[in-house]
Amino acid sequence: MKHFRQLEAARKQELFLHVPEQFDDRTDRRLLAVALGATLYVPATRPDLVDAVRKRAAEGVCSMVIDLEDAVADHQVDDAMTNAIASLDTLAGTDAAEVLLFVRVRTADAIRSIAERLTTGVGALTGFVIPKFNSETGGKFLQEIASASELLGKHLYAMPVLESPELVHRETRDHELREIALLLAEHRDRVLAVRIGATDMCGTFGIRRDRDLTIYDVRVVADVIAGIVNYLGRSDGTGFVITGPVWEYFADHERMFRPMLRATPFVEHDAVRFRQHLVSRDLDGLLREIALDRANGIQGKTVIHPSHVAAVNALSAVTHEEFHDAQDIVGAASGGAQASGYRNKMNETKPHRSWAEQTLLRARVFGVTNKGVTFVDLLTALVDR
């Protein structure tokens, strides 16, 4: 599979200096984690689940989660699991669904049940999402995924979701994060990425953030995210790729505050009406939150609506300026500092090296835009499809 594959070859040539590379679930773990991009959740109860996966894959979605947890009512769990297994078996029999597929389970025992009932579907399954992951129960989930991998003869990944009260509550957070860090380190090759479940975190305080605010404006949750990145997002070889929490909104509404999307970039690219479209669909808040995710060491994002995918993936592409800065930093033979080739910043070899290496990884799977091409151009091309 490949990001932005839905664009025509001529359009990609206009937009990209280097087009994205292909990848699949056998790709190096670190690169594959970066490649997740926008991970779209879909309820396992959908009767058209196979068609839904194929449709979204054709639209450019590269990672999806078949949800057996929050999106499924208690009395529907058994039917939903049967549907998920049958859908995976069907999807594995075709090459129509070029997408990384994960199943979010409720219990560790469900992993074993799926593995025992799955047939050809193992070819379509990349791994499992573990909700409400904590240091006490997380080990059992990870062990069951390891057992399922052995049973099915395929390396299956885990994506734990951090959202439990032990993490949210200040008095238990540091101890819990230390224990989780130790647990995940024991299963490093199994853990693809760590996901953040901000909706459950907000629920701990009876909060539902407004569409005019990003998750970083909700301070009690922003503090938790900072702690997660501090413990689990380090660039010294002990960390993991951490993905951003879901953006809940996608419909028109009456706004209290001014839009969070500057008009200037759209005026410069003759896309004023496109900006109005983004604002009317609450995507200006999403774009702002994606930028803040990146500023806080987070890559990729959970999404619950197909309209969010293009925004997340467009902002994941590496700009011409970022790429050349990263190349200069990685290519420097020794320490020191030098002016950027764009003559607008200082590149310091040692402190910026980890950033540069991560940027070059992202460039491989999301591509490098041509000089002068901005996210407005790329997002416009994706939405116009």
DSSP string, 165-203: HHHHSHHHHHHHHHHHHHHHHHTGGGB--EEE-HHHHHH
Please check if 200 is assigned to a binding site: yes
Helices (H), 6-76: 9-15, 29-35, 49-58
DSSP string, 67-109: ESSTTS-GGGHHHHHHHHHHHHHHHHT-SS--SEEEEE-SSHH
Helices 138-152 and 170-186 pack at an angle, to 10 degrees, of 20
111's enclosing H/E stretch is: helix 108-117
Q: Are 60 and 382 in contact (CB under 8 A)?
A: yes
Residue for token pair 């399954």: 125
Q: Which of 117, 103, 3, 112 has its CA nearest to residue 62?
A: 3
Annotated binding site: 200
Annotated binding site for Mg(2+): 200
